[in-house]
Amino acid sequence: MSLHFSVLASGSTGNAFYVGTENQKLLVDAGLSGKQMERLLSEVQIDPNELDGILVTHEHSDHIKGLGIMARRYHLPIYANEKTWRAMEGYIGKVSLDQKFDFPMSSVQTFGDLDIESFGVSHDAAEPMFFVFRNGGKKVALVTDLGYVSERIKKTVENADAFIFESNHDVEMLRMGRYPWNIKRRILGDKGHVSNEDCALALTDIIGNDTKRIYLAHLSQDNNMKDLARMSVQNMLKDRGVPIGESIHLYDTDPTSATPIYTP
Ligand SMILES: [Zn+2]
Ligand SMILES: [Zn+2]
């Protein structure tokens, strides 16, 4: 099977992503309990014993909750940059030295037939980074947990066959909502999360001729709704002449269930 993936879970309660090729099967983040990780993988018929490793984007608990458990239970190597390793060390339990690997920011690492490029994002973690996956001429970009989408990021991810892109909150819902002001400021700030509107604006720039699917990801439970996110992004893209609903389709992600495996 060529490059394929599933968004196993996405949202502020826990994130996990699966990506695979002919000879590689990897997780990116394991932000739910070991039990839930196993259930999500079984939803898309992936046997955790067949996994080759886990990549880590950053040390927030919604990305590493089940990391240590999964790594120990299935003897999986973990790949993260040095600062992230240092920041998460105390939270993932004991991981043996031969399971710890460095994946520097702004680098390309090759896992069998899969090339993975990391890029840094502006987010309130030690050294948060996300990934572009390339195999057989296909490209998939995973971009969540960032305060804003820089020109550098746009260049790296542009014209992917599929985007998993943050659409965290509706700005009005967040402003009017019950969160204390300092939290609101964090989410809205440069190191917080991308709103529905900013998501659509960024997508307008990065969608290319190869783009077929966009998965709206990391939706806030309190400050967003699937329909609202989808409609906002869809309308803004349509207004800007993006052939949404024609050659490009929008997909939801869910905090508790996996999206079906997709092969671009
Ligand atoms: Zn997160
Ligand atoms: Zn985060």
> What residue type is 45 in one-letter code?
Q
Could you tell me the distance, in angstroms and rounded to a whole number, from the CA of residue 246 to the centre of ligand 1? 31
**Side-chain half-sphere exposure of 121, counting CA atoms within 13 A:** 28
- 131 — phi, psi (to 5°)? -135, 150
Model pLDDT for residues 4-63, shown as the tens digit of each residue = 999 999 998 999 999 999 999 999 999 999 999 999 999 999 999 999 999 999 999 999
Give domain status of residue 260, yes or no: no
Give domain status of residue 257, yes or no: no
Give domain status of residue 182, yes or no: yes
Alpha helices, DSSP H only, in the chain? 34-43, 61-64, 67-74, 82-88, 151-157, 171-176, 181-188, 196-206, 226-239
Could you tell me the distance, in angstroms and rounded to a whole number, from the CA of residue 143 to the centre of ligand 1? 11
Task: Pick the closest to residue 37 from 5, 12, 71 (CA basis).
Answer: 71
Total number of domains constituting the chain: 1
Could you tell me the distance, in angstroms and rounded to a whole number, from the CA of residue 130 to the centre of ligand 1? 11
pLDDT band at 256 (very low <50, low <70, confident <90, very high): very high
Q: Which two tokens stand for residue 250?
A: 């929008």
Model pLDDT for residues 223-253, shown as the tens digit of each residue = 999 999 999 999 999 999 999 999 999 999 9
Give domain status of residue 162, yes or no: yes
Model pLDDT for residues 62-78, shown as the tens digit of each residue = 999 999 999 999 999 99
Write down the pLDDT at residue 106.
98
For the four alpha carbons of 262, 200, 139 and 189, in that order, the dihedral sign comes to negative
Could you tell me the distance, in angstroms and rounded to a whole number, from the CA of residue 79 to the centre of ligand 2? 17
Q: How many CB atoms are closer than 10 A to CB 180?
A: 8
Give domain status of residue 183, yes or no: yes
CATH code for position 60: 3.60.15.10
Q: Which of 67-76, 101-110, 179-188 shows the lowest mean pLDDT across its residues?
A: 179-188
Q: What is the mean pLDDT of the chain?
A: 97
Q: By three-state DSSP, how is residue 206 classified?
A: helix
| Average pLDDT over every residue of 78-97 | 97
Q: Are 215 and 165 in contact (CB under 8 A)?
A: yes
Write down the pLDDT at residue 93.
96
Could you tell me the distance, in angstroms and rounded to a whole number, from the CA of residue 11 to the centre of ligand 1? 7
Could you tell me the distance, in angstroms and rounded to a whole number, from the CA of residue 141 to the centre of ligand 1? 16
Give domain status of residue 82, yes or no: yes
- 116 — phi, psi (to 5°)? -125, 125
Could you tell me the distance, in angstroms and rounded to a whole number, from the CA of residue 11 to the centre of ligand 2? 10
Q: State which residues have CB under 5 angstroms from ligand 1, the bound ion.
A: 62, 145
Could you tell me the distance, in angstroms and rounded to a whole number, from the CA of residue 218 to the centre of ligand 1? 7
Could you tell me the distance, in angstroms and rounded to a whole number, from the CA of residue 247 to the centre of ligand 1? 29
Give domain status of residue 126, yes or no: yes
Q: Are 156 and 129 in contact (CB under 8 A)?
A: no
Q: Whose atoms come closest to the Cα of 31: which ligand? A: 1
Could you tell me the distance, in angstroms and rounded to a whole number, from the CA of residue 127 to the centre of ligand 1? 13
Burial class of 96 by CB neighbour count within 10 A (0 to 12, 13 to 18, 19+)? exposed
User: What percent of the chain is predicted at pLDDT more than 90?
Assistant: 95
Q: Which domain holds residue 126?
A: 4-252
Write down the pLDDT at residue 20.
98
> What residue type is 54 in one-letter code?
I
Q: Are 54 and 37 in contact (CB under 8 A)?
A: no
Q: Which two tokens stand for residue 146?
A: 């960032």
Q: Whose atoms come closest to the Cα of 28: which ligand? A: 1
Could you tell me the distance, in angstroms and rounded to a whole number, from the CA of residue 55 to the centre of ligand 1? 14
pTM of the predicted model as reported, rounded to 2 decimal places: 0.97
Give 123-148 as a DSSP string. Answer: SSSSS-EEEEEEETTEEEEEE-S-SS
pLDDT band at 100 (very low <50, low <70, confident <90, very high): very high
Q: Whose atoms come closest to the Cα of 13: which ligand? A: 1
The CA distance from 263 to 241, in Å, is 26
Measure the CA dihedral 35/19/102/16, to 10°. -40
Q: Which two tokens stand for residue 29?
A: 């983040």
Give domain status of residue 259, yes or no: no
Write down the pLDDT at residue 1.
82
Write down the pLDDT at residue 239.
96
